[in-house]
Amino acid sequence: MNIPFSKVPLAGNESRYLNEVLESGWLTTSSKALIFEELFAGFVGAKYACAVNSCTAALHLAVEAIGIKKGDKVLVPSLTFTASAEILRYMEADPVFMDVEYGTGLITPALLKEAIRVNRVIKALILVHYGGQSVILTTSDGEGILDICRRSHISIIEDAAHAFPTKFDDRFIGSFGDVTCFSFYANKTITTGEGGMLVTDNEEIYNRAKIMRLHGINRDIWARFTDNKSSWEYDVVAPGFKYNMPDINAAIGLAQLEKAEYFRAQRQRCATFYLNEMKDLSSIDLPVCNGSMENHSWHLFPIVIRPKAPVSRNEFIQLMANEGIGTSVHYKPLHRMTYYKETYNLNPEDFPNTERIWNGTVSLPIYPELSDDNLKYICQTIKGILS
Ligand SMILES: Cc1ncc(COP(=O)(O)O)c(C=O)c1O
């Protein structure tokens, strides 16, 4: 058996849309990216979408557009990828790292309230929907994360790199916060190879992100290359970035978007299989799903090897590899990364749940092409290793 950790499903219209781009003679941003933006915004229920070349770019544009400045303090969970925090350093702002809940890997309203109490002047929150499950955004008594942030005048930048398509209650992530950023990196729930999307209902944030996405130029200048009547003239209104999504990538994204719900349902099939097969294993903790299985994108399936298990996490990964099964770790927390640890003098004891997760966490393969036979083999191998 050879079961990679991640595999991209490419059985739809990817080649067809890619050929259309190649035949058009125009490979970078144009009509495919525009259509992708429109359809994506419609899918999640947001007013505006801005296609970019990574989620990191989307997050950078988001904090820039929201007005995060030098010295601003911004909350970030420690259990995330470095992109969630590094974009704050681009603005010379300071991440304030938070612990997460054991079981879900998410920040909770209680953890948020404590962080606000201790830190007082907080400008914003980078809200990570870890693994593809939404945090508790709103509650009927106004105690959800969105409710608390609104009351405390804290802006929310949703890092939804894992969370497409993910719902909270009956609405998609992307239709709640001030601004939401998605990833279409190769291992994500839909991919464009490399790519990302910023979505918002706020016209000002959208206009700023759109301008900064392409050098701070005040209009969509690719029209001047593809339309004979378009004017060559443009102005530069700010020192922007080069973050636009080429049509080559958007073409793949359009095909993937058509199958997004099918992909999600297939990943849910894998998660259901794992949860049923491994529910009685005493050496591991399974991921906790707060709401309905359908609301979860199931980007990740992270288990935690308990301290008293017969093998350590690192041994487990090696033994799985010996049996032809790829795994990964999400994440070595940011408070353990040299740069953040040294810059902010961080202490693992301040992140007890994150440490507990980090010490035992392993992400299992989860993607549409995993067959039930593959899943059975993975579960049997795990049982063998842990028995
Ligand atoms: C939580 C999180 N945020 C942001 C990113 C950055 O995404 P991208 O590679 O599209 O820049 C990732 C990438 O894996 C991620 O896991």
Q: How is the beta sheet containing 48-52 ordered, strand by strand?
A: 48-52, 196-200, 179-183, 155-160, 124-128, 73-77, 94-98
Atom from ligand 1 closest to the CA of residue 196 = 10
Q: For residues 82 and 229, is the Cβ–Cβ distance under 8 A?
A: no
DSSP secondary structure letter of residue 334: G
- Tens digit of each residue's pLDDT (9 = 90 or more) over 291-346: 999 999 999 999 999 999 999 999 999 999 999 999 999 999 999 999 999 999 99
Average pLDDT of the segment spanning 79-96: 98
Residue with the nearest Cα to atom 16 of ligand 1? 81
Compute, in angstroms, the gap from residue 160 CA to the centroid of ligand 1.
9
- Tens digit of each residue's pLDDT (9 = 90 or more) over 51-67: 999 999 999 999 999 99
Q: Is pLDDT above 90 for 224?
A: no
Compute the distance between CA of residue 138 and CA of residue 198 in angstroms, rounded to an integer: 22
183 lines ligand 1 (CB under 6 A): yes
| Catalytically active residues, by annotation | 188
Atom from ligand 1 closest to the CA of residue 184 = 10
- Tens digit of each residue's pLDDT (9 = 90 or more) over 225-263: 677 767 788 899 999 999 999 999 999 999 999 999 999
Residue with the nearest Cα to atom 14 of ligand 1? 81
Compute the distance between CA of residue 187 and CA of residue 74 in angstroms, rounded to an integer: 28
Compute the distance between CA of residue 241 and CA of residue 217 in angstroms, rounded to an integer: 10
Compute, in angstroms, the gap from residue 56 CA to the centroid of ligand 1.
6
Pairing outcome for strands 94-98 and 284-285: unpaired
Compute, in angstroms, the gap from residue 27 CA to the centroid of ligand 1.
25
The model's confidence at residue 177, banded by pLDDT at 50, 70 and 90, is confident
Compute, in angstroms, the gap from residue 330 CA to the centroid of ligand 1.
11
Compute the distance between CA of residue 222 and CA of residue 244 in angstroms, rounded to an integer: 11
What is the torsion angle, in degrees rounded to the nearest 10, for the CA atoms of residue 179, residue 183, residue 184 and residue 190? -80
295 lines ligand 1 (CB under 6 A): no
